[in-house]
Structure 1
Amino acid sequence: MLTPEVPMSHSVAGEPSSAGRRRAAPLTTAVYSAAEWDLLTSLPGRVLVAAAAPGPGRPERGVLAGLAGLDAVAAGRAFDSDLVRAVVAAIYARHDGAPQPGEQLTDLVDLLAACRAGVRVLHRRADPADSAAYRQWVQSVAARVCRAAPGAANQPPGPADRRFLDRLGGALGLG
């Protein structure tokens, strides 16, 4: 028996809902082209790499920052958003180690352009709550990496990192 489509949503804090409503096979991916899905599934990794990269005024980051970013990506499995959970599942399903489209190292301008393209895809195809959850989740990956600077674990990001996060948030349509 088919069950009716449950509206995709997330909690305000991005935590799993207490109701625990999850379908075994979300239909989320069916609405995206292969190129759109590749874009959405590659952005979290690209953001993690960009957030961990040193830059003018940004500290050198080590393994702990990368682990913090991976933890933030994995945290998407608990979101009350079909889209975020489907993206995380797709990321973890890639087990061959081959680079995925868009996962190559790019400069910040390219990353921000990709984020804006992702926002356009979400605007056209995603439920507004899923779109917001995805964009907030991607931003949270960068924020966790930026807070994991050596010697400053879980400290507020410095000025250069705040500028990076502000630009990323703007490209993601969050501010």
Structure 2
Amino acid sequence: MLAPEVPMSHSVAGEPSSAGRRAAPLTTAVYTVAEWDLLTALPGRVIVAAAVPGPGRPHPGVAAGLAGLDAVAAGRAFDSDLVRAVVAAIYARHDGVADPVDRRTDVVDLLAACRDATRVLRRRADPADSAAYRQWVQSVAARVCRAAGAPGLPPAPADRRFLDRLGGALGLR
């Protein structure tokens, strides 16, 4: 049985339709439901992982979580149809209905999910969308780590290691 697919694409020229809005984008890549779920869940998983205290990592506090949510929302302004569509899907999924969240985060599983997402994007996404998505996910983690640290100080060594490992898993290093 084939999994349902979710269309995704770059828009033609971003020209507005007759109603004054942007025309619906043409389909250039298709994601299965499992692939789309991976792409839309990854930013939230990154926030949780970046906000988990641990050895060499102070308790990040509420500010770190809020910084992550702000970084996700900032994706609405990205020059990437994929990033904007992922943000829209995240907001649509969380329209007032709270999902049960497992606060335990296994960084090894997160990094594996990042590598899986990177493979999906390389196979199916426009290269510019792929790069924008991966950089956006990395920026979400960086903003959480920055907010978790002391103002004016560089990130803690544990945060730098986490960001380096995440960047490697996302194919950015």
TM-score by length of 1: 0.81
C-alpha distance in structure 1 between counterparts of 2:74 and 2:107, whole Å: 24
Distance 2:163 2:54 in 1: 13
- Computing the radius of gyration from Cα coordinates, the structure with the larger value is 2
Q: Please report the RMSD computed on the Cα atoms of aligned residues, expressed in angstroms.
A: 2.5
Q: Quick one: distance in 2 between partners of 1:148 and 1:89?
A: 24
1:7-55 deviation per Cα after TM superposition (whole angstroms, max 9, x unaligned): 89xxxxxxxxxxxxx8454456961000000000000000000000011
Aligned equivalent of 1:59:
58
Specify the alignment match of 1:35 in structure 2. 34
Structure number with greater CO (CA < 8 Å, separation at least 6) is 1
Provide the C-alpha distance between the structure 1 equivalents of 2:33 and 2:53, rounded to a whole number of angstroms: 32
Aligned with residue 12 of structure 2, among 6, 12, 17: 6
Correspondence for 1:74: 73
Structure 1 CA distance, aligned partners of 2:121 and 2:152? 30
Cα deviation, residue 58, structure 1: 1.0
Q: Return the alpha-carbon distance in structure 2 between the equivalents of residues 171 and 118 of structure 1.
A: 9
- State the secondary structure of the residue aligned to 1:157: coil
TM-score, with normalisation over the residues of structure 2?
0.82
| Count of equivalent residues | 156
CA contact (8 A) 1:64 1:148 kept: yes
Segments of structure 1 that go 5 or more residues without pairing to the other structure are: 9-21
Q: Which amino acid aligns with 1:158?
A: A
Per the alignment, residue 6 of structure 2 pairs with none
